[in-house]
Structure 1
Amino acid sequence: MNWRGRPLTSHEVILESIASAFTRTGLRVKAELDTNTYPTGIGVGDAEMAALPLTRHTFHGEWNYALHPQPKPAIPAARSGRPPTPQLLSDPALTGLAPHQLQHLIRTLTPAGDTRRGRPPRLTFADQVLATVLHLRVNLAAEPLAVLFSSSRTAMHRTLLKIRHLLEAQDITISPATTPPAALAALRARVAAQSSSPNSKIKTTG
């Protein structure tokens, strides 16, 4: 029940209850249902909390605080043909996952996926998961992903198929971004620059 004693019997009732809130100073609340799927059981450690740019209020600062925005590093246009760093590829704006959520996803899939049998893979298992998240989240195909991860088109196809099967087995869904992130345009420009470089052609063998 909400504070008025109204039973919260559906998502619609919850949204209506939240959206009906207002203050005498003119605050109005807008509520929307988020239908995305997120990993569960994720905690935020003390170190992560301490690193947040918070300004706590004098009255019950443990509950009342202002969270200040942090500028995200822009993805620079490629000039040298070098692949982007993992930090840029794992930008939450692209993956839809906070860093600790991405690490949790990698740990969840590792027991079944990081078997290390046969020839060592071109990519680490963490990079395999990251590439697949980018594939599902922002619709990057195997060819540009192969450029970004310095892999081959064939190996990337195998990677995407493998990780997608692991996600399905764990009943984990990576929802597509509703609107293309701003960082995606810069990433595509980097792919184009690397693809045109004589030293950065897409490899065609595993």
Structure 2
Amino acid sequence: MNDQLLRVILSHPAFTGISRQHFGELIEELAPRWESAREATLAEQRGGARRRACGAGRKPKLVFVDRLLVTLVCLRLGMPHQALADLYAVDRSTVSGAVRQVRPLLAARGFAIPRSPRPAHPHPARPVRLRRGRAHRAVPRRHRSTGQATARGTPRP
């Protein structure tokens, strides 16, 4: 999908939770902070000043506007990172990194950032084996050597 069209679609208030005008103001306010934080991180990884001219080297796969959009959509809708990665034709780790970088900027600005947009336990509990004829009673586990009923691997008194 065309990046420009994707930006127009995802910047709709239904996806981001903010107006397009407010989104533009966020970009103007947060982009310099993100860029300075990114340069500081890169300087720390390099161990000093740049060795190449500004603008040389690998370009980020998601520009700041897309990073902000991905983060807002993820926080508002709880959309999986893989789904957003498929929309932008990048790897899931790229989207996860973008969200990890932009969330602190939004929190410092005063946005209410949930700790996690997903449930604490995404997988259902392990299924319980049921006895035949007694559909609502769970089968107690037995200890290997003693044959006593156990709970979480410890013998019952």
Using structure 1 for the length normalisation, give the TM-score.
0.42
User: 1:169 offset after TM fit, Å?
Assistant: 2.0
Higher strand share: 2
The residue number in structure 2 matching 1:90 is 11
Task: Summarize the alignment of residues 182-201 of structure 1 with structure 2, pairs less than 5 Å apart.
Answer: none
User: 1:171 offset after TM fit, Å?
Assistant: 2.2
Q: Which moved more, 1:149-158 or 1:124-133?
A: 149-158
The list of structure 1 runs, each at least 4 consecutive aligned residues, that deviate by more than 6 angstroms after superposition, is none
Q: Quick one: distance in 2 between partners of 1:158 and 1:145? A: 12
User: 1:85 offset after TM fit, Å?
Assistant: 2.4
The residue number in structure 1 matching 2:22 is 101
The residue number in structure 2 matching 1:156 is 95
Deviations 1:147-202 (A, max 9, x none): 11222111111110000011122222268xxxxxxxxxxxxxxxxxxxxxxxxxxx
Higher helix share: 2
Q: How many residues align?
A: 94
Q: Quick one: distance in 2 between partners of 1:151 and 1:103? A: 24
Cα RMSD after superposing both structures:
2.0
> In 2, are the aligned partners of 1:113 and 1:163 still within 8 Å (CA)?
yes
The residue number in structure 2 matching 1:136 is 75
Q: Which one scores higher on RCO, CA 8 angstroms, separation ≥ 6? A: 1
For the pair 1:170 / 2:91, whether they are aligned, the reply is no
The residue number in structure 2 matching 1:114 is 35
Q: Quick one: distance in 2 between partners of 1:92 and 1:174? A: 17
Task: Summarize the alignment of residues 40-79 of structure 1 with structure 2, pairs less than 5 Å apart.
Answer: none
Q: Quick one: distance in 2 between partners of 1:156 and 1:85? A: 15
Question: Which stretches in structure 1 are left out of the alignment for 5+ residues?
Answer: 1-81, 176-206
User: 1:123 offset after TM fit, Å?
Assistant: 0.7
Larger Rg: 2
> In 2, are the aligned partners of 1:142 and 1:157 still within 8 Å (CA)?
yes
